[in-house]
Amino acid sequence: MHIHILGICGTFMGGVAALAREAGHTVTGCDAGVYPPMSDQLRALGIELIEGYGTQQLALKPDIFVVGNVVSRARLADGSPKFPLMEAILDQGLPYTSGPQWLSEHVLQGRHVLAVAGTHGKTTTTSMLAWILECAGLTPGFLVGGVPLDFGVSARLGQQAAGQERSLFVIEADEYDTAFFDKRSKFVHYRPRTAVLNNLEFDHADIFPDLAAIERQFHHLVRTVPASGRVVVNDLEEALVRVLHQGCWSEQRGFGAAVSDFTARGEHHAFDVLHRGQVVGRVEWSLSGEHNQLNALAAIAAAEHVGVSPAVAAQALSRFRNVKRRMELRGTVANITVYDDFAHHPTAIRTTLDGLRAQVGQQQRILAVFEPRSNTMKLGTMKAQLPWSLKEADVAFCHSAGLDWDASEALAPLGDAGHVVDDIDALVQQVVAAAQPGDHIVCMSNGGFGGIHAKLLQALTEKLGS
């Protein structure tokens, strides 16, 4: 089969492309501003990439067009279509589908799917779960919205392990919509036998009017889990309690709360794993924060459903190396450390900084450098939460380019500790001027952030030496 993917450089669609190529299909694709790192990964797989959405791509005559949710029926100021290729596909009645639908029909069918859903921690928990299964010798397939350091790739097909009724596939289950022609959440296509509900709060203000609308989508996911399946749920989350109160037809396993099936005892970086009060394993790792401890419990509970004991799972997590862009150390100059992190929602920013504060203590300063880049943050829906999210930062710097709301006003409660800059180079200069030996600089964005990490390290080196 020849598939042509529209919007191929997104993390999810790039993963679909890699899986299709590994399965032996011919894969081509297009995107606007074909960009790394996904473009480099795809070209290395022999996948032809085309810049833009021109109608000349019809000449490729693929068997089907796979359409990413970046594609819409939008029009430019002059009235011409923003995605002329999509318009031509519709006009000519050519076959097309969404990425999640193609994945469901051609990769996930017949497998035991383990899906990890939640507002936060999906990528990390999916990576943890895949690593646990790998260490247990189960060779899972996976599709992750990032690059797990233990695998070095974001997607692979995997193999059916001896003694397993079905081959296993671990997938990051996103609640964002599927495509312009399918407004259901992506995860309803995956039909998991094991579903992790990690947490749930309001996000994606561009497509959901309120939290209740997202809860309904999560319940659609719960409805697809068979009676022989398992739903792993964070018992600390009131929104998830409401989701399950709408109905659950599968085995449930809870984690996090004192009365849960799976709990933790100890520090976030070194803790015992308890199953109904009995110690069943121990995790000692370099990760920080309560959120990662909860992610670990979720992964352990999910892995148990496919026969991996909590003891084996805990041993695997003690060797887990995390995911790129999750508190990833980018460099140290003159005892000033620079990290890269994917946090962009206020809660994610807060948990990232809380985790670092617990790790470094109160004597060392934290400089938070962030850009409100997600659709939700660009809309200003959660701007009032920013001072709360930055509580553990000694100094905060906001890159405000492209915002329609006043970031200075939003950060006013921080007083002199809050800074707003609309230019990357000027932002780098201000951060470098404020930095002192012993500081920890955390750059947080769900995008490339203008290469700020390398620019900061270079500027610090020029000012202070190596």
Q: Which residues contact 329 (CB under 8 A, 6 or more apart)?
A: 337, 338, 339
Q: Is residue 142 part of a domain?
A: yes
Residue that finishes a domain, picked among 39, 74, 98: 98
Beta pairing partners, 174: none
Residues 190 and 269 in one domain: yes
Residues 298 and 389 in one domain: no
Residues 307 and 224 in one domain: yes
Q: What are phi and psi of 10, to 5 degrees?
A: -70, 155
Distance of CA 129 to the CA centre of its chain: 14
pLDDT in tens, 203-254: 776 778 888 999 999 999 999 999 999 999 999 999 999 999 999 999 999 9
Write down the mean pLDDT value for the chain. 92
Q: Is residue 103 part of a domain?
A: no
Here the contacts of 10-13 (C-beta below 8 Å, separation 24 or greater) are 10/38, 10/68, 10/70, 11/38, 11/145, 11/146, 11/154, 12/68, 12/99, 12/143, 12/145, 12/174, 12/186, 13/66, 13/68, 13/99
Q: How far apart are CA 154 and CA 123, in angstroms?
A: 10
Residues 343 and 437 in one domain: yes
Q: What are phi and psi of 20, to 5 degrees?
A: -65, -40
Domain assignment of residue 397, given as a range: 328-464
Q: How many helices (H) and strands (E) does the chain have?
A: 15, 23
Residues 170 and 31 in one domain: no
N- to C-terminal Cα separation, the chain: 53
Q: Is residue 105 part of a domain?
A: no
Residue that finishes a domain, picked among 317, 348, 382: 317
Residues 302 and 373 in one domain: no
Residues 158 and 194 in one domain: yes
**What are the pLDDT tens digits along the chain (466 aa)?**
999 999 998 889 999 999 999 999 999 999 997 766 677 888 888 898 999 999 999 999 999 999 999 999 999 999 999 999 999 999 999 999 999 999 999 999 999 999 999 988 899 999 999 999 999 999 999 999 888 889 988 899 999 888 788 899 999 999 989 999 999 999 999 999 999 999 898 777 677 888 899 999 999 999 999 999 999 999 999 999 999 999 999 999 999 998 999 999 999 899 999 999 999 999 999 888 888 999 999 999 999 999 999 999 999 999 998 877 778 889 999 899 999 988 778 888 888 898 889 888 889 999 999 998 776 777 777 888 899 999 999 999 999 888 888 989 989 999 999 999 999 999 999 999 999 999 999 999 877 788 898 999 999 999 887 6
Residues 148 and 272 in one domain: yes
Estimate the crossing angle of helix 346-360 against helix 290-304, to 10 degrees: 110
Q: Is residue 323 part of a domain?
A: no
Q: What is the number of structural domains in the chain?
A: 3
Residues 416 and 309 in one domain: no
Beta pairing partners, 29: 5, 49
In our burial notation (b when 16+ CB lie closer than 10 A, e otherwise), range 344-368 reads bbbbbbbbbbbbbbebbeeebbbbb
Q: Is residue 338 part of a domain?
A: yes
Residue that finishes a domain, picked among 275, 295, 317: 317
Contact 15, 155 (CB under 8 A): yes
Residues 339 and 295 in one domain: no
> Could you tell me the CATH number of the domain that includes residue 378?
3.90.190.20
